[in-house]
Structure 1
Amino acid sequence: MIEANELTKRYGRVTAVNALSFTVRPGLVTGFLGPNGAGKTTTLRMILGLNDPTSGTVTVDGYPFRDRSRGLRHVGALLDAHDVHGGRSAVAHLSALARSNAIPRRRVDEVLEEVGLANAARRRIGGFSLGMKQRLGIATALLGDPPVLLFDEPLNGLDPEGVLWLRGMFHRLAAEGRTVFVSSHLMTEMEHTADRLIVIGRGELIASESLTEFAARGTRQSVTVRTPDPAALTAVVTAEGASVEPEDDGSCTVTGLSAARISELAFDHRIMLHEITTRSSSLEEAFMELTADSVEYPAGEPR
């Protein structure tokens, strides 16, 4: 379990993380979301003792990570897949880490096999693709068979097969009772991967809740309607203040009215409906809406 309490980090006049408190529990995949510059990487570095907090505390299973000897047995982390010696082979890199953390040598071969790098074990890392480096970073995190795992943008460079493999691995690790904390900017992937979310903006907590609860925060709700007479339906619902957007598949998306009210209007005006479905905000829509004020460098409208 990871527990942060009033965690704060300042760099001169800039506050990167501000009084941040949250708990990451075992047995779940917890997504860590926020716009660029929100303080996600700084927070992960403080969890690992790489950055000292200005104030506040963060512990892993009740202790600051720096107090742990042989740290890879307690926490496995992938922060930067490029942060490896390019002249070493994958097996040499992992073997050195295994020796320094009193991890059995057999684990090197096991994790290389698990991440799909067994055939590239003796190749120099400098010749690896980004996806291969990501897999090596994941192997490093798994090396000590730790109860807590942190991943910062682990999907970078992975092909679709790799994304599916990693998604399954996260779920397996959580099912084993481990704490799995994944920082990512890919909202659609988090919808398939995370059980809970911790969302921050400008270094402050926005949400700490289940995926479903967070998506429900979005205020945008629409209704998908399929009818043989879209022109008549459009005229009726727009007269009530709704907006209608035709879709490529022949359906219409109506916003501004509930499904019940649309059904009543269609019945009153003898408009046949073949389908009517309420659609709530997606995770991405809820994220964009709730973090809009936290974007550090918002882009302008396209000209």
Structure 2
Amino acid sequence: MIEAVGLTKRYGDRLAVDQLSFTVKPGQVTGFLGPNGAGKSTTMRMILGLDAPSGGTVTVNGKPFVELANPMREVGALLEAKAIHGGRSAYNHLLCLAQSNNLPRRRVDEVLELVGLTEVARKRAKGFSLGMGQRLGIATALLGDPKILIFDEPVNGLDPEGILWIRNFMKMLAAEGRTVFVSSHLMSEMENTADHLLVIGRGRMIADCTVQEFIDANSELVVRVRTPEPTRLAALVTGDGGKAVPDGEGTLLVTDLTMDRIGDLAFDNGVRLHELSPLQASLEQAFMELTRDSVEYHAAVPGVDEKGRA
């Protein structure tokens, strides 16, 4: 388990992380989200003892990382997949780490097989594709068989097969009861992978909840209604305090009323319905809505307003 209490980091006059308090629990994938410059990488570096906090504390299994007697056996991390000596083979890279951390040689073969690199184990890492490099980085994180795993942007630049593999692999690790903490800018991946979310903006915590709770709290319920009497139903919806916008022939998009209420209105007034379905907002839409005021750098796109509308 990872626990932070009032975690703060200041670089000169800039407050990169501001009083963060959170718990990353075992048995689930916890997604760590935020706009560029929000403080995600700094927070991860403080967890791993690479940066010292200016205030507050962060512990791993109840201790600061620097006090762990055998850190590779307790925490594995992937912060920079290509941070390896390109002249070494995958096997020798892992063997060097195993020997320097008093880990058994057999563990090298085990993690190589686990991440699917057995066949290229003797090849030099400089010839690896980005996906192979990510797999080697994960193998490195797993070398000590730790119960806590931290991944920073693990799917960056990967092809669909690689993304699917990492997604399923992280879920498997969590299912084994491990603590999995992952930062990513790919909202679709977090929606498919994470169980819980920590969302920060400008160094501050702005959401700590499940994925579904986050979507529900930061998006508007839209109901798609298809009927042979759209004009009449639209008038009924408006009269009941809702909003109805045409969305093609015979179809309305209704907001500010529940599906049950729309169905009751139609039934009570003899309006036939051919479709009544919710349109679920995506994690990306909810994230953009919540973090709009926390984005440090805005790029103007001709013909598009600040909410992304043409």
| TM-score in terms of structure 1 length | 0.91
Q: CA deviation at 1:227?
A: 2.5
Question: Any conservation in 1 of the 2:40–2:183 contact (CA below 8 Å)?
Answer: yes
Q: CA deviation at 1:189?
A: 1.4
Q: CA deviation at 1:180?
A: 0.8
Question: Secondary structure of 2:215's partner?
Answer: helix
Question: Any conservation in 1 of the 2:39–2:201 contact (CA below 8 Å)?
Answer: yes
For 1:150-165, what aligned pairs fall within 5 Å after superposition? 150-165=150-165
What number of residue pairs does the alignment pair up?
Answer: 302
Residue in 1 aligned with 2:307?
A: none
Question: Any conservation in 2 of the 1:247–1:253 contact (CA below 8 Å)?
Answer: no
Residue in 2 aligned with 1:61?
A: 61
Q: Which runs of 5+ in 1 are unaligned?
A: none
Residue in 1 aligned with 2:133?
A: 133
Give the whole-Å Cα distance in 2 for the aligned partners of 1:253 and 1:152: 39
Residue in 2 aligned with 1:244?
A: 245
Q: Give the residue type in structure 1 aligned to 2:24.
A: V
Give the whole-Å Cα distance in 2 for the aligned partners of 1:60 and 1:29: 16
Question: Secondary structure of 1:198's partner?
Answer: strand
Residue in 2 aligned with 1:74?
A: 74
For 1:1-303, what aligned pairs fall within 5 Å after superposition? 1-230=1-230, 233=233, 237=237, 242-246=243-247, 251-267=251-267, 270-303=270-303
Give the whole-Å Cα distance in 1 for the aligned partners of 2:150 and 2:108: 19
Q: CA deviation at 1:298?
A: 2.2
CA deviations over 1:67-97 (Å, ceiling 9, x no partner): 1233211100000112121121111111111
| Cα 1:98/1:252, change in 2 over 3 Å | farther
Q: Give the residue type in structure 2 aligned to 1:87.
A: G
Q: Which stretch of structure 1 is more off in the superposition, 89-98 or 284-293?
A: 284-293
CA deviations over 1:199-245 (Å, ceiling 9, x no partner): 11111111112222222212411001122454654566567662425
Root mean square deviation, CA, Å = 2.2
Q: Give the residue type in structure 1 aligned to 2:145.
A: D
Question: Any conservation in 2 of the 1:238–1:244 contact (CA below 8 Å)?
Answer: no
Question: Any conservation in 2 of the 1:3–1:58 contact (CA below 8 Å)?
Answer: yes
Q: CA deviation at 1:157?
A: 2.8
Question: Any conservation in 1 of the 2:33–2:183 contact (CA below 8 Å)?
Answer: yes
| Cα 1:205/1:302, change in 2 over 3 Å | same
Give the whole-Å Cα distance in 1 for the aligned partners of 2:52 and 2:299: 32
Q: CA deviation at 1:282?
A: 2.9
| Cα 1:299/1:234, change in 2 over 3 Å | farther
Q: Which stretch of structure 1 is more off in the superposition, 283-292 or 264-273?
A: 264-273
Q: Which runs of 5+ in 2 are unaligned?
A: 304-310
Question: Secondary structure of 2:107's partner?
Answer: helix
Question: Secondary structure of 2:214's partner?
Answer: helix
| Cα 1:258/1:82, change in 2 over 3 Å | same
Question: Any conservation in 1 of the 2:47–2:60 contact (CA below 8 Å)?
Answer: yes
Give the whole-Å Cα distance in 2 for the aligned partners of 1:70 and 1:247: 62
Question: Any conservation in 1 of the 2:244–2:252 contact (CA below 8 Å)?
Answer: no
| TM-score in terms of structure 2 length | 0.89
Give the whole-Å Cα distance in 2 for the aligned partners of 1:154 and 1:13: 31
Question: Any conservation in 2 of the 1:70–1:102 contact (CA below 8 Å)?
Answer: no
| Cα 1:141/1:252, change in 2 over 3 Å | farther
Q: Give the residue type in structure 1 aligned to 2:243.
A: A
Give the whole-Å Cα distance in 2 for the aligned partners of 1:101 and 1:203: 34
Give the whole-Å Cα distance in 2 for the aligned partners of 1:130 and 1:210: 31
Q: Give the residue type in structure 2 aligned to 1:293.
A: D
Q: Which stretch of structure 1 is more off in the superposition, 78-87 or 54-63?
A: 78-87
Percentage of identical aligned residues: 63
Q: CA deviation at 1:23?
A: 0.6
Question: Any conservation in 1 of the 2:219–2:285 contact (CA below 8 Å)?
Answer: no
Q: Which runs of 4+ in 1 moved over 4 A?
A: 229-241, 267-270
Question: Any conservation in 1 of the 2:3–2:24 contact (CA below 8 Å)?
Answer: yes
Q: CA deviation at 1:19?
A: 0.7
Give the whole-Å Cα distance in 2 for the aligned partners of 1:133 and 1:238: 56
